Amino acid sequence: MVNYKDLGLVNTREMFAKAVKGGYAIPAFNFNTMEQMQAIVMAAVETKSPVIMQVSKGARNYANGTILRNLAKGAVEYAKELGCPNPQIVLHLDHGDSFELCKDCIDNGFSSVMIDGSSLPYEENIKLTKKVVEYAHKYDVTVEAELGVLAGVEDEVSAAESHYTKPEEVVDFATRTGCDSLAISIGTSHGAHKFTPEQCTLVNGVLVPPPLAFDVLHAIEKKLPGFPIVLHGSSSVPQEEVETINKYGGKLDAAIGIPEEQLREASKSAVCKINIDSDSRLAMTAAIRKYLAENPSHFDPRQYLKPARENMKKMYIHKIVNVLGSDNKL
Ligand code: G3H
Ligand code: 13P
Ligand code: ZN
């Protein structure tokens, strides 16, 4: 058993309470590689922001759970080395799909887990979530649950269409499961293709997607005042990164994300955790494609991973300061 407290990590409880009260959101950045971890830590330290480093099942398969846990431990030590004496770093399991996976993470240094029972029938979602909560709380690990279905297709997360969270279910769900936070569906989705051009309106030459269902969010907030709400699928898909990728040999058609103004607005509500993965993938890929196209004779990975890390760090800082508002909250 490895307890997260021995690694210098924290759970989400206090962090979320402060964020809900303060009208900002904590960034939850996915990581699979050392460079992503370094960029996340550098950005969090420079902006004095708490941060959630999250690991999907796919990340564990790619990089190995033990290695990722030690990267998170290294993240705490690295943050201190960079001049932050008390970093607030959460190691979170993203989209846990079974009790066994959640238990394995809790037993191996994670300070927070998500049990994603959103594709199950309501009563089964409650039963599974409650089982995870009972185990997690013995070790002071916090649990994120999900109600409602997000559209989007990725390695480990797939659904053909979305169903908004039903506000009339949230009190019963939160009370019976004892979960610490709730991911909801209000129109975000996973990946870099969140909307088709046909779903968007052309404004000054820019495709603007339909707005998020703020009415559903506000109805949920009314039912569960002050309860921490989570938004998945919240990458904005910066068009300059898409253009760079396409300019240097990539082929990303109609990549459209969530406008940042909408995430800024959501951050001021009970939404206190915003998940971003695709934007990091885009920032990394754009920098690597550009570097290799401009330096065709280079083959040392450090040469192209350095600008990739810089570009991700720049993106993380932008999200923290200009979108989520979690800077200077340590
Ligand atoms: O929401 C899912 C995250 O973007 C993780 O994606 O399962 O491909 O690692 P992944
Ligand atoms: P994006 O694909 O929009 O980055 O969403 C990531 C996410 O929700 C991780 O759980
Ligand atoms: Zn997600």
Ligand 2 nearest-atom number relative to CA 279 = 4
4-324 falls under which CATH superfamily?
Answer: Aldolase class I (3.20.20.70)
* Cα 295 to averaged position of ligand 2 atoms, centre (Å): 31
Q: Which ligand is nearest to the CA of 190?
A: 2
User: What is the predicted pLDDT for the residue at 97?
Assistant: 97
Supply the residue whose CA is at minimum distance from atom 5 of ligand 1.
56
The environment of the single-atom ion ligand 3, i.e. residues with CB closer than 5 A, is 232
pLDDT in tens, 117-154: 999 999 999 999 999 999 999 999 999 999 999 976 44
Q: How many CB atoms lie within 10 A of CB 199?
A: 11
CA–CA separation, 48 and 79 (whole Å):
10
The two structure tokens encoding residue 231: 């938004």
Query: 277 catalytic, yes or no?
Result: no
Can you give the pTM of this predicted structure?
0.97
Closest protein CA for atom 5 of ligand 2: 233
Q: Collapsing DSSP states into helix, strand and coil, what is residue 321?
A: helix
pLDDT digits (tens, 9 = 90+) for 196-251: 899 899 999 888 999 999 999 999 999 999 999 999 999 999 999 999 999 999 99
Residues at CB less than 6 angstroms from ligand 1: 30, 56, 58-59, 94-95, 154-157, 190, 232, 277
Residue 157 has pLDDT above 70, yes or no: no
185 to 161, 167, 170: CA distances (angstroms): 11, 11, 12
The domain segmentation of the chain, as residue ranges, is 4-324
